[in-house]
Amino acid sequence: MSSVLHSIKIKGDKTIWLIVFALSLFSIMVVYSAAGWAHLTSHILKLFIGLIGMYIVHHIPFKYFSRLGQIGYYTSLVLLLMVLVIGVSINGASRWVSVAGLQFQPSDVAKLTVILFMARQISIHRDRLGSFIQISWYVFLPLLAVCSLILPNNFSTAALVFINGLVLMYIGRIKLNFIAKILASAFIVAGVIYGLSKFMPEFGVKILPRSTTWVSRIDSYFLNNSAEIMDKDYQQTQSLVAIQNGSLFGVGPGKSTQRSILPYSESDFIFAIILEEYGFFGGTIALLLYLILFFRAIKISFKTDSIFGGLIVVGLMFSLVFQALINMLVSVEIIPVTGQTLPLISMGGTSLVFTFISLGIILSVSRNSLNGVYEKV
């Protein structure tokens, strides 16, 4: 046993390792409080698989993720098409596919691989990205393809991937006026979708099956009548009750009263349980840990001589931290319900595993950051 432990070599940024371990242990405590023993064993197993995956991935030289990202990107496109054709519906949303008895969300694969693929495209073709056509062909169209396939069944994830892609383009020094035009076009498209779904629901549902759900969430968020909010936005109402119960220092671990009332308290609204049991103080610490992860990623990107390495580190970590912020903002009712989980803490399946894989790639860059030869491949 001692020889096995001795052979385990943890490399890369030690601060990231420590925070990941801390959030994983904290996740066990909070998931147990929110979901009980029934789901805890499964959650611990997925955490263990994720940590093993992160450990294995962080030993792989990051230059190989350029080609793997390309293969993974095209694979994710096929999987996303499968969702539209033979997707498995759970809780009214068709976001899963079943392969060899294993159900998973291809969007989790796409969130990771599209960042790797875009980083590869920017690093390899950076000398050609001088015109609108070239930027669109090499960088933007791959992002648009993924978002278009995710959008019909998962607006929030499509929007998240889209924003991640724009941030990656900005970091990759794509012209700001081009990014601004893309963003303006996206707002126009979103407005058209909202209008069709609200005023022509029969037509909207034919194009985007869950469009009425999106409209309902947006409308309920902006309603002023408290009775209507209570009826249409039950989740966020109960989340606010949990937060109020927690106050500054919380009611204590395992003492939540809202866990059996608040829907998805173990996943989408787990931050509300954190605020109830550990208070504003505990929630602030969780937020700071995510921000530290992001600043460590920025530090790693400054140290690497590889354009690809710098892009994937910041891109993957921004994706993780931005999703965490979205989850937190939903819990405190600053933005409408999105269905996004809290990375590393929420109970999850493939999303949890792919989060660990993303962190493994980041650690791989931090372990060996002086390699940019692959960019000429």
- Tell me the mean pLDDT in the region 18-38: 93
What is the distance between the alpha carbons of residues 329 and 331, in angstroms, rounded to a whole number? 5
Instruction: Check pLDDT > 90 for residue 227.
Output: no
For residues 354 and 6, which has the higher predicted lDDT (pLDDT)? 354
Of residues 219 and 203, which shows the higher confidence score? 219
Query: What pLDDT is recorded for position 296?
Result: 97
CB 24 within 8 A of CB 344: yes
Which residue, 277, 247, 282, 280, is CA-closest to 262? Answer: 277
Does the model's pTM come out above 0.85?
yes
Query: Which residue ranges make up each domain of the chain?
Result: 12-370
Residue 72 predicted with pLDDT over 80: yes
Among candidate residues 351, 332, 336, the one with its CA nearest the CA of residue 274: 332
Average pLDDT over residues 182-202: 83
Q: Is the predicted pLDDT of residue 56 greater than 70, yes or no?
A: yes
Helix, coil or strand: residue 90: strand
For residues 173 and 351, give the distance between their C-alpha atoms in angstroms, rounded to a whole number.
29
Give the pLDDT of residue 105: 87
37 compared with 312, residue with greater pLDDT: 312
Half-sphere exposure of 108 (CA within 13 A, CB side): 20
Which residue in the block uniquely carries the two structure tokens 């062909």?
137
Check residue 1 and give its pLDDT. 43
What pLDDT is recorded for position 96? 66
pLDDT at 2 over 90: no
pLDDT value of residue 223: 62
Q: Summarize pLDDT for 93-146 with one digit per residue, the tens.
A: 667 677 766 777 889 999 999 999 999 999 999 888 888 899 999 999 999 999
Rounded-to-integer distance, Cα 237 and Cα 106, Å: 31
Q: Which of 119-123, 163-167, 235-239, 323-327 has the lowest mean pLDDT?
A: 235-239
Question: Mean pLDDT in the chain?
Answer: 87
Q: In what order do the strands lie in the sheet with 102-104?
A: 88-90, 93-99, 102-104
Max Cα distance, the chain (Å): 67
Q: How far apart are CA 346 and CA 46, in angstroms?
A: 11
Is the pLDDT reported for residue 368 higher than 60? yes
CB burial of 150-176 (b: ≥16 within 10 Å; e: otherwise) equals bbbbbbbbbbbbbbbbbbbbebbebee
Give the count of beta carbons closer than 10 Å to the beta carbon of residue 180: 11
Q: What digits encode the pLDDT tens for the residues 237-295?
A: 899 999 999 999 999 999 999 998 999 899 999 999 999 999 999 999 999 999 999 99
In this prediction, residue 231 carries a pLDDT of 45
Model pLDDT, residue 37: 84
Report the distance separating Cα 361 and Cα 355, nearest Å. 10
Mean predicted confidence (pLDDT) in 54-60: 95
Residue 168 has pLDDT above 60, yes or no: yes
- Can you tell me whether residue 366 is helix, strand or coil? helix
pLDDT confidence of residue 5: 41
What is the distance between the alpha carbons of residues 347 and 31, in angstroms, rounded to a whole number? 6
